[in-house]
Amino acid sequence: MPTMTSSPRDSRQRISVPRAPQQLEPTPELLAELSAASASLESATPEEIITWAHERFAPYLTMATAFGPEGCVILSMLAKVAPETYVFNLDTGYQFQQTLDLRDRIAEKYGIEVDMLQPELSVPEYEALHGGPLYKTDPNQCCFDRKIKVLRQASEGKHAWMSGIRRDQSADRAQAAIVGWDKKFNLVKVSPLANWSKSDIWNRILAEDVLYNPLHDQGYPSIGCWPCTRAIGQGETDDRAGRWSGTGKTECGLHTIQESDGSGI
């Protein structure tokens, strides 16, 4: 059975985070460089893309992971090519216990300590402020407060972030570049697995015994916060059907395109 938790505030020692003295600016020169790199990396392997990103942006390269299968595959690759990369998780306080446990299993296996970044308010404080759980009445605001704001803070002092999105996951994600400028967070966004399929991911997990969330074996193909995630039933073909089910919401906002801003992803 899935174990739900509103986790206590994390008492782990803070992980030291490299901070750039200046943010990158999306100058025409930088955008042209990113566009050319993205085109040239279209047929590269994820490991080659990660290596390119590391050489170009370290130590100001970071990665956000929700410990999904894609993130776990990237973590296994980082362990080989750039284990010192700063990796963080948006720890909303509503994650499944299995997800929190995976963080520790990854640290043990790969030596990568994922930093658990929490919102300013704990779950009890946040729910008291809003007269109850906001995910029931305004999940967009809840995601904004407990994920987007935290990611914005985490992006300060960074030049680039990696994510595990795949183009075949959704219409929004279908337009993801391998490398592009992310207007929402003012960072270069690198998507090493953009061209991989779900089969590619699971073939790698099985071939290399990559750690993954045990909830995937219990009918949860996509895992977020426990209040907004359910197992999918037989006959449901959309892996994300169990996320914000019945609300019309499909994304937390981290990877959606800002239409009014142009091409930033």
Using CA atoms of 24, 82, 222, 43 in order, give the dihedral in degrees to the nearest 10: 80
242: contact with ligand SF4 by CB under 6 A: no
**Coil/strand/helix, residue 176:** coil
| C-alpha span between 119 and 93 (Å, rounded) | 8
To ligand SF4, the closest distance from the beta carbon of 136 in angstroms equals 9
Residues whose CB is less than 8 angstroms from the CB of residue 74 and which lie 6 or more positions away in sequence, other chains included: 46, 50, 63, 65, 162, 164, 192, 193
Among 57, 86, 94, 185, binds ligand SF4 (CB under 6 A): 94
The CA-CA-CA angle for residues 255, 258, 263, to 5°, reads: 90
Using CB under 6 A as the binding rule, the residues of this chain from 136 to 155 that contact ligand SF4 are: 139, 142-143, 146-147
Instruction: Measure the CA–CA gap between 105 and 97, rounded to whole angstroms.
Output: 12
Q: How many CB atoms lie within 10 A of CB 1?
A: 5
Contact region for ligand SF4 (CB under 6 A) — 68-76, 104-112, 219-227, 232-240? Answer: 219-227
The residue with tokens 């993801």 is 176
Does residue 72 carry a catalytic annotation? no
Cα separation of 254 and 6, whole Å?
Answer: 22
Interacting residue with ligand SF4 among 18, 219, 227, 264 (CB under 6 A): 227
Q: Is 225 annotated as a binding residue?
A: yes
Identify the active-site residue in 252, 254, 255, 265.
Answer: 252
72 is in an annotated binding site: no
CB of 143 to ligand SF4, least distance (A): 4
Closest distance to ligand SF4 from the beta carbon of 174 (Å): 22
Minimum CB–partner distance for residue 28 and ligand SF4 (Å): 36
What is the contact mask toward ligand SF4 in residues 45 to 84, using x (rule: CB under 6 A)?
A: ----------------------------------------
**Environment class of 252 (CB within 10 Å of its CB; exposed 0-12, middle 13-18, buried 19+):** buried
Q: Provide the minimum distance between the beta carbon of 228 and ligand SF4 in the complex, in angstroms, as a whole number.
A: 3
CA–CA distance, 164 with 114 (Å, rounded to integer): 15
Please identify, using beta-carbon distances, which residue of 76 and 213 lies nearer to ligand SF4: 213
The maximal CA–CA distance of the chain, rounded, in angstroms, is 52
Q: Does 252 bind ligand SF4 (CB under 6 A)?
A: yes
- Residue with the CB atom nearest ligand SF4 in the bound state: 225
Return the active site residues: 252
Residues engaged in binding ligand SF4 (CB under 6 A):
92, 94, 135, 139, 142-143, 146-147, 224-225, 227-228, 252
